[in-house]
Amino acid sequence: MGFKAYILKKAFYSILLIFLVSTLNFIIFRLMPGDPYAVMIREYIMTPEMIDEVLNRWGLKKPLWEQYLLYIVNLFQGNFGISFRTFRPVQVEIMERLPNTIALVSCSVIASTILQVLIGFYIASRRGKLSDSIILSTGIVLNSTPVFWLGMTLLYFFSFHYHIFPAAGTTTPPPNNPKDPISFIIDYLWHMALPFTALTAIILGGGIISVRNLVLDALSQDFVVVARAKGLKERDVLYRHVFKNVQLPIVTSAAISIARSVGGAMTTETVFTWYGMGRYTFESISNLDYPSLQGIFFVICVLVIVANFIVDVIYGILDPRVKYGESAG
């Protein structure tokens, strides 16, 4: 199986997953107890004729399979319905917020992946020393800390107590907002600093532990003994031989960090009033805004599936077995 076939297979699988997720999304919102449309109807005093009209207009009188087809067609046209809260199209609301979430999540995932490799290698090479045990226990503690609480603590100390970082929002609000692109980016990053730190720290905690274990696992294998016997320096052993062997599992673990950080972003964004999908979810829950929730869930799932596909592609590039085909390797 060559690289092309590998990519095709993964792409097919991703599309299948997106299809499954959209079906799940339909099932959750149509078949669950607690009729969401009843909420909307309950909000206003309606005569039976008006209810009938609403149900017809939204296609709720059609048989279920027809509703499902309609739903799928709408979904792939990017039509997620109208928000109960703002009465704007959900896709418009999502598009306003999605870039902020992607910026936050991707920065955190990239930074934490790089940092976990650096720190993991460092402490694995100093196994049993004081710095190893301090960093390792910090990692274990961080791994069991709720991200939103870390965010709240950072927010309290650095925004409300010492006034170093801004307390809310993605940019400075209009009257003083920066006009030229460069200071806009600086301002944006300035606002992102705290949520980014919280999210990165939490993913990093688990990452350090797993990289350390991977490195220690590799260090106990025969090729390391050979490398050492050849008289290679410990540094060369680590960064040439061991690194090549652990890079694949690290790429796989990046996929796990993506799912984790998307979950973490939900609460972190709420803490920092970051204008993204997480905060949107929070607002939609508070207002029982079902179309928005449905749209958010679908978009987040697609985001995660696409990110996983990218990780698979990177994996394929890095893994010689994929690149040159199973038979050649």
Q: Please give the residue ranges that form the binding site for another protein (CB under 8 A).
A: 17, 20-21, 28-29, 32-34, 36, 140-141, 143-146, 148-150, 152-153, 155-156, 159-161, 167, 259, 262-263, 266-267, 270-271, 281-282, 285-286, 288, 290, 293-294, 296-297, 300-301, 304-305, 308
Burial 242-251 (b: 16+ CB within 10 A, else e): beebbbbbbb
Residue closer to another protein (CB basis): 185 or 285: 285
Burial 155-170 (b: 16+ CB within 10 A, else e): beebbeeeeebbeeeb
In the complex, the smallest distance separating the C-beta of residue 286 from another protein, rounded to whole angstroms, is 6
Query: Judged by CB, which is closer to another protein: 227, or 268?
Result: 268
User: Considering the complex, what minimum distance in angstroms separates the CB of residue 282 from another protein?
Assistant: 6
**Are 279 and 168 contacting, i.e. CB atoms less than 8 angstroms apart?**
no
Q: Cβ of residue 39: shortest distance to another protein, in angstroms?
A: 10
